[in-house]
Amino acid sequence: MPRTIEEFQQGFAWLAERISSEIIGKPVAVRRLLTVLFAGGHMLLEDEPGTGKTRLARTAAQSVGVGFGRIQFTPDLLPSDVVGVTLYDQNTGRFSWRKGPVFASLVLADEINRASPKTQSALLEVMEEEQVTIDGITHGMPQPFMVIATQNPSGHLGTYALPEAQLDRFMMRISIGHPDRESSLAILRNDIRGAALESPDSDVSSVPCDQENTAKSTGRPVPNHAVPDHAVPDHAASGQASAWVLAMRSVAERVHMDDAIGEYIIRLVEATRGDRQVKTGASLRGALALSRCARVAAAADGRDYVLPDDVAELAVPVLAHRLALTAEAICSQVPQSEVMRRILEQVPVPSIGRERSLP
């Protein structure tokens, strides 16, 4: 199990490489998803249909090796379909409780904004408290626990905007975007090669290997899943996936953050509350989320201390979706990310404090 920053960095890089071998050309999205995973938060993927949101979530669960549950949100989905329901058994004369699909370590809430607000609210307690209360009985979630929700941009037919209270519970919101030309070509080659491997009449040796193109499109080498390093064991095969993730979180929690960096985060959050284009700014929950993500980012880079660059890099995906803009900004179609970038440029960047090692 990882215990040091070096082992954390190796484990983070190994897992990122493993996911990137399936999600081609999106290293930033993969890194941010893993940042949220090891920070103990939840992720919101917002983008157009067909950009790989569901595939990214499924690949992450398979790569980590933890339990996976998927909920396809539809307009007729009920809260009991998410968290579970108590049923009466006529044969035994007793009530029995059946768990919903939310009881998994990594839960994919697919197209969450297609469900009614009543069903969306069923996730509120789960995401914040990591527990579900049904008929007065509280049931805890498995650990680690993470919700990866996908949604189509607001305004699409048949969508319901997520309430601000639920948006605030997502640690980060990102957009994947369509792949560039080289990445798209590499994906097509992978698809052709996969079809050839499945065909009984195909000559596998005649299908060109796409590893070189994959490395070129992603800018990173093709991962070697059999990495001979004690920090990244085959935890999935040994049944230690959950313990491995929790150990990685424990290492990240011990990363040092100077008081000057903490004040920088608070100033950023306070600046969102006083901006002319913001009706309601980020809460303290946003500051805590940014602090945790910054510590994970520092550990992923092999440092046991946080730099201002770690905070600046993650400020937009962590804080932008928490801003409720004014009517004038909405009418002018000003995106939340643009407002957050402007605020980020206005807040002075502190000088870093004294470096410290982990105890």
pLDDT at 156: 61
CATH number at residue 158: 3.40.50.300
Range of the domain at 46: 5-176
CATH number at residue 298: 1.10.8.80
Sign of the CA dihedral with 264 first, then 270, 276, and 278 last = positive
Number of domains in the chain: 2
d(CA 141, CA 137): 13
Element (H, E) at 132: strand 131-134
pLDDT at 271: 92
C-alpha distances (whole Å) from 300 to each of 3, 63, 122, 192, 211 are 13, 18, 33, 34, 25
| Domain co-membership, 10 together with 145 | yes
Secondary structure class of 228 (helix, strand, coil): coil
Q: What does the DSSP assignment read for 55-100?
A: HHHHHHHHHHT--EEEEE--TT--HHHHHEEEEEETTTTEEEEEE-
| Domain co-membership, 37 together with 141 | yes
Query: CB–CB of 185/213 below 8 Å?
Result: yes
d(CA 280, CA 94): 48
The answer as to whether 309 is a domain residue is yes
d(CA 80, CA 229): 44
The answer as to whether 10 is a domain residue is yes
| Domain co-membership, 172 together with 260 | no
pLDDT at 300: 94
Place of tokens 């402007």: 342
The answer as to whether 152 is a domain residue is yes
pLDDT tens across the length of the chain (359 residues): 888 899 999 999 999 998 888 887 788 989 999 999 999 999 998 877 777 778 888 888 888 888 888 888 888 888 888 888 888 778 888 887 888 888 988 899 888 888 888 888 888 778 888 888 877 788 888 888 999 998 877 656 667 778 888 888 999 998 887 777 777 787 777 777 665 545 555 443 333 434 344 344 334 433 343 333 444 445 544 458 888 999 999 999 999 999 999 999 999 999 999 889 899 889 999 999 999 999 999 999 999 999 999 999 999 999 999 988 889 888 988 899 999 999 999 999 988 644 444 44
The last residue of one of the domains, among 143, 176, 209, is 176
The answer as to whether 187 is a domain residue is no
C-alpha distances (whole Å) from 191 to each of 48, 150, 210, 214 are 21, 24, 10, 12
pLDDT at 85: 82
d(CA 143, CA 67): 10
| Domain co-membership, 275 together with 156 | no
279, two tokens: 């009706």
| Domain co-membership, 157 together with 61 | yes
| Domain co-membership, 267 together with 143 | no
pLDDT at 268: 94
Which residues are 68's β-sheet partners? 106
The answer as to whether 356 is a domain residue is no
Alpha helices in 175-334 (DSSP H): 181-198, 211-218, 235-238, 241-253, 259-273, 284-300, 308-319, 327-331
The answer as to whether 170 is a domain residue is yes
